[in-house]
Amino acid sequence: MKFIVFLFGLLLSGWVSAQPVVKFDHTGIQKGAYVETCYHNPCSVAKVQSFKQLKQTNTQSNIELTLIGGSKAWDSKKIDWDKQPHKVKVYCSITHPIVQIDRQKTLLPINEGFGVPGILMVDAELYLQACHNFHSSVQKAAEIYGYDVHDEE
């Protein structure tokens, strides 16, 4: 009984995290990397101009990217690049994955069930590449990394 009380005390004091420790992998989103998602036509393309680690703990990793965006047709190699780069913040967290563009923060409902709505697919694929260097389906990522995030209502 004393041991259970001891463990409960550790949880309350923050010595032991109730959330699993996650190692996020940012190797696929460093300066010079390309991000491409073709959920619909035209495809969304971005080139990373800078990468900055903002915060890192046992359960989250926050980064800031400067991206130059663009688009291209599915069957084309020609990319129409935007004129100005933009900053994107990515909050890597298994329980609260967020992509922020300008002041718009978007919680991504990454899970094995309902999946991510089409309108958020570009953000979800960017998030998975930025946080896990992952290039497969969102549902597969949910299964592998343990995401079970749903829309907040």
23 exposed, middle or buried (CB, 10 Å; 0-12, 13-18, 19+)? exposed
Q: Tell me which of 142 and 152 has the higher pLDDT.
A: 142
Residue ranges of domains in the chain: 20-145
Report the mean per-residue pLDDT for the chain.
87
């100005």: which residue's tokens? 84
| Residue 2 binned pLDDT confidence (cut-offs 50, 70, 90) | very low
The DSSP element (H or E) to which 45 belongs, if any, is strand 43-56
Tokens of 135: 């290039």
The tens digit of pLDDT for each residue in 62-102 reads 999 999 999 999 899 999 999 999 999 999 999 999 999 99
pLDDT tens sequence across 35-47: 998 888 899 999 9
Position 115 scores a pLDDT of 79
Rounded CA gap, 137 and 108, in Å? 14
Category of 74 on φ-ψ map: left (φ > 0), alpha (ψ -120 to 50) or beta:
alpha
What distance in Å separates the CA atoms of residue 121 and residue 126, rounded to the nearest whole number?
Answer: 8
pLDDT in tens, 3-48: 343 333 433 344 444 556 678 999 999 999 999 988 888 999 999 9
Contacts of 55 (CB under 8 A, 6+ apart): 61, 62
